[in-house]
Structure 1
């Protein structure tokens, strides 16, 4: 009897199946007993009949029933082939029984032509039972022989395989291995078909399917199916294989800054987004793995790294890796975090206002700056060693002095503190602020400094300050502001509206600006009309004589700064003095003279002066004449002479000479007369005279001499002689 196989069932199902099995066993035993009894009866009957009349019946051989198909427990649509074997089968008639009853016909029963082979196509559990074959001879009488039974079991439903896996990880990673096992718990002889996402995996028919090194393309839904011959079980439940690359760990800088300063602490955290637990981490700087030490502190699972205190050796590129050590899974490097370790910068103190030398009441503004990222710092300011403004002041990185005094002078410095953390710099280099005791003084000058200026001229005011700096200048006329910002103010004079009192101030800076005190005023006096110079002559005479000296003076009243041009008969004379002097006049010097004035600094010219006509004559020679009639006189007689010029005799005074002796000087009250009241012989001689202009030192030569003879005899004889002559 073939071995029976039973499907896996519950306890109740198993009990029922055992009862059925026992029932079938007892049925077989009963059938054999009955047959044996019948055979004995038949033998007896045949014997008795032979003893009486008939020959003994044909005794066929006992057939042997064999199942030539593979399985006795089958499923719907599977075939069971039974072969009834007996010697001399060609002389036999073969019939079939099921469970002791003759087997009828049906579409699922296919006997061979000689009925020795029966093919049963299972359709339902009705086909289950004990099958036997019966043989008898074709010639009668004949006995029948029945084979032993072959049990056929037909299952009610198509089995469904059970799919199991040796690892139940929700996620697997490349390089790991997995084995899937498919089992059909009923019957035997199975081979297995494997499927991935509805595609059959070729070349695999074993109960187990192993992937030694999974890859992401191995991901999918896996299921299996049992197969024997043409029969297929149902598909198993699927199992999901999810193969993903190891997660790239995320690296987070827990401290809020990548640029750190020596002495600070920096902390990192490494994590993975994964449904798989049990990850651990390693840390790397510049791809070199770090080990836990007192400065570089790594926690238990490696998920955090803290470096405290940071030094220059700690700068570099930080990454982490994730590991599933129990499964031999390693991730790649995380994205990198570059840590820059810097020395704490030293701030620089600069002046926003431009001048390190300031004046009382002037404002000062300083700014403290780092070389980079100045806005990240807050600043404290110091004068010498005294803190004058603390960190976190609302004034930020500026220090302002609104009104400086000498007490504000000193060496200023600043230091920085990071706003976000306690990082302090050292003080930067000092900046010296000098505060003058007094405001600077201004000196206002005017060029040209002419007392009076005229329309058409230009004047330049210059404002000089005692302390040089980048000053802007303010200009005022009679207290009102005028346009101008340099240290010079040029006024193009158009009229008397430009005259007035001019002052200046200096200013520098802004918001607020610093202003000096006002300079002393400079007056500008303007004359609107073009001046006409006055020409004077010395001597002031219409007629001049050869050899005389004459000078002219050209003058512009109430003003200065002039040079002069001289003209004779409209021709220019090379002379720019205010006076024209001519010595030793000659007749060629006669003519019409005039002048005009000009200012070299402004190029301004006056009108021409009035003309002066100069007439030059030869000095006349005087004539000496006797007023008394006789050139021969007697002792005690009076003599009167007169010296005369041809013209203008009254303009002259005269000197008289006897021989070479001057007997009467110029400017005598006797005028042009020489009188001898009582002649004597000593008065005799050659008399002459010369003239001198009363008004100036013009001297004539002596005129022709006049001989005066004084007799030495008595006057009586002379009288008689005179009478006789008469």
Structure 2
């Protein structure tokens, strides 16, 4: 450099500089010094920019970093140098670097540029651009509702965290078909009217970068068929320990469809099953609401709506039977009616009744033991200690036994409804008995009065009459051999009847000739005397004796017997 022999110089031009010393005459030269490169800084500012300009970059994506020179009015051809997490690059005419982001790609990136015709004049280093690579994301699928109403549709939304620049791919499959992409659907939100299993994923960049697929979302289409939960047996009150069956009934239209069913209740919801009923033994934990829905067997993503809730209320106390009877005594030749009921004041129903006699008996009564009327009523004619209990269902659920009732075999009392007739009947009976008693006393008095007069006459006549009867008996004995049995009548006048000549005593003596001679020793002659009293004449001051026919019997032995 001419005119520069000083030890110090100032330069404003970039380049490679060196120097040497000289002295003397002739001039002596030292060796040339090492070279020093001097670069001139250009005022142009450079900036590192990212393409695509997404706020969040994921590992595996491909990006481009560009070094941009903010030029003035003139256009200059530049070359560029990079400094980053990897080894700094050499000067290159390309102002960008493209690479696939990895874990080692994270860090600060800077660049500078220089004129291609002045390699010792360059810009300053740009501000650092920080690159942070995140793990590969998973798309998220959400649905406003997973049940498509009748004739409607549902909206599905796919998203990838809070990043930008995504397009979306949608997929649908069923349990029997493979997954297929839904074409012409790249938006974040779509509307579907078909049941199935849906998923999605995000895509962006070139080459395309894919997120992981979202979780599956099952969409069901709703049929218009209505389903109803019904209980069998259909008793209004259910007790703990009973067995019941809940049935899910589909009210179909004109077509017949094969269905499968799902249940929701107090316990864990059931899986889909071909059985439309569930049978269980009722416990306290069984109380609650039960619902069901159904779907076609050939389309597992088209189902009915949930049925209305069926509320099951379980009574925890075992019911007790009650036995009643209007009578406790069995009337002669009759029976007593017994009635059995279960919680007559409640709404329980469906009971059958079992009857037992005697406390230790476990064998129920049969038609040979009692007469069975309507359910819960029997008639018994045998005394004993009776009890009953109710049972229903299959298998049979039994109530507690009723209290025991003793039935005795005695005359049954009058029914309470006729108690007001008792005094009247007793009064009539007593009146009739009193009248009969009075008539009987009157007759006895009359008979005793007449017999007094008869005995008086008979005493005075006994000697004469006995003698006559004896003679007649002997005569009858001899005559009987020819004539057989004979009756002898004799008129005997009452000696004391001086005022009535018509009074006659008739004596009839009979002998049975059929007897053998041997038997004649014990033969008896019976004399029947008729005393015919004529109407007496009335005397002043004396009561007239009552007229009556008196018969007097006398025992007379035959002659042979007397001998």
Q: TM-score range by the shorter chain?
A: 0.3 to 0.5
Larger relative contact order (CA 8 Å, sep ≥ 6): 2
**Could you state the TM-score of these two structures normalised by the residue count of structure 2?**
0.39
Greater CA radius of gyration, 1 or 2?
1
